[in-house]
Each structure stands twice: as C-alpha cells, then as structure tokens.
Amino acid sequence: MAVTTLDPKTALVAIDLQNGILAAPGTPHSTADVLARTVTLAEAFRARRLPVVLVRVTSAPDGSDSPGGRTEAPRPTSALPAGWDTLAEDLAGHPEDILVTKRNWSAFYGTDLDLHLRRRGITQIVLTGIATSIGVESTARAAHEHGYHVTLVTDAMTDRDARAHQNSVERIFPRLGETGSTADVLNLLATTHG
C-alpha cells in the first residue's frame, strides 16, 4: 500500500548516510541510489521549509561507548577508518538541517531527536537510510512507540542482506506505518505542501 498523506508538520529523517556505511555494498538498492533519492527528498523538503534531520552513527575509537551486552554475532575488533562517520557530502552543509548523532541502532535512544521534533510540532516522519533492518527499522519502531506517523521510503533504503530488507519492508513496516516510493512522497509533497 502506498503512503496516503503527509501531515502539515512532517520531517524527513535520513539514517546513517555517511562515508563508511555508503562505502559498503547494499541490496536490493545500491547505496549510491539510496543517497541520490534521499538528496532529492531532502531538497524537496527544504524547498517547502520542512525539517530535514540527518542522523549519523559514531563511536569512540576504542569502542568504549559502544552498546554492551553479549551477542552471538561477532563485533568488529579493528579500528574504524578516519572519517567513516562523516555525513555524505551531497547531504551535508545545510545550516537549517538538524544533525543527530547516535551510538545505538535507533536514532531516538540516547539522542535529542524526539526533543527536536516535538519543539517543531512534528507529527510525522519520513524515513530513509541504511540499513533497512537495523538503523531504519529501529528508528521506525521507536517513532511509532513515540506516537509519530511513520512513512518509510522503501526505494531510499537498503541493507547488507536482501532477505533482511524484504522482511522489514513486507512484515515489519506495515505494522509501524505506511510504505511508499520516493516518487510517492514527492507527489504528495507537491499536492499537499505546494
């Protein structure tokens, strides 16, 4: 089902579109395509004076601020390269954008994202980013739990695993909000926000 509406107070939230993450391959969409579609959406939101939130993930060089807890999946043990957490140049450099730095999967946990959105009266977020099943899904779950209307732009997100992407898009996202394409969102912006 395509997205049906955009609230008057809607924000674009782009998850982890930064150098180190964009350098890895994505599926089913290339990371370059995800970035390009998000840039197009960001330009459209900015043109209508709607907030654009750029979220990046980072950690201390020694990993001391990484989430704890035992996991079955191994954690990276090598140091991350310098600049891996720098936002993509195509998105950065707009002083009106809201910048959020996270150290967990969700853009809400341990950040001031909710405060930024509530101060602006935002009732709906449009999500893009990488990875679909991790940062995007975690943020969508938290947004839903915080009472926001959630729109997920499925062609402006990608994952490392096609099955994980598909599971999020087909099974999880319909329970958290509405899904649609970049074109769907741009069409709604044109008709509802001039």
Is there a domain that residue 160 lies in? Answer: yes
CATH number at residue 108: 3.40.50.850
Is there a domain that residue 77 lies in? Answer: no
In this predicted structure, what is the pLDDT of residue 109? 95
Is there a domain that residue 122 lies in? Answer: yes
Is there a domain that residue 142 lies in? Answer: yes
CA angle 13, 142, 94 (to 5 degrees): 15
CA angle 67, 106, 181 (to 5 degrees): 145
Is there a domain that residue 65 lies in? Answer: no
In this predicted structure, what is the pLDDT of residue 136? 98
Q: Is the pTM of this model over 0.75?
A: yes
Helices 31-47 and 182-192, interaxial angle, to 10°? 0
H-only helix segments in the chain: 19-22, 31-47, 113-119, 137-145, 162-167, 173-176, 182-192
User: Using one digit for the tens of pLDDT, what is the confidence trace for 147-185?
Assistant: 999 999 999 999 999 999 999 999 999 999 999 999 999
In this predicted structure, what is the pLDDT of residue 32? 97
Residue 85 in tokens: 């957490």
Query: What's the domain count of the chain?
Result: 1
Is there a domain that residue 70 lies in? Answer: no
In this predicted structure, what is the pLDDT of residue 168? 98
In this predicted structure, what is the pLDDT of residue 183? 97
Range of the domain at 53: 10-58+83-192
Is there a domain that residue 1 lies in? Answer: no
Is there a domain that residue 28 lies in? Answer: yes
pLDDT along the chain (194 residues), means of 10: 90 96 95 98 98 90 63 66 88 96 94 98 98 97 98 98 97 97 97 86
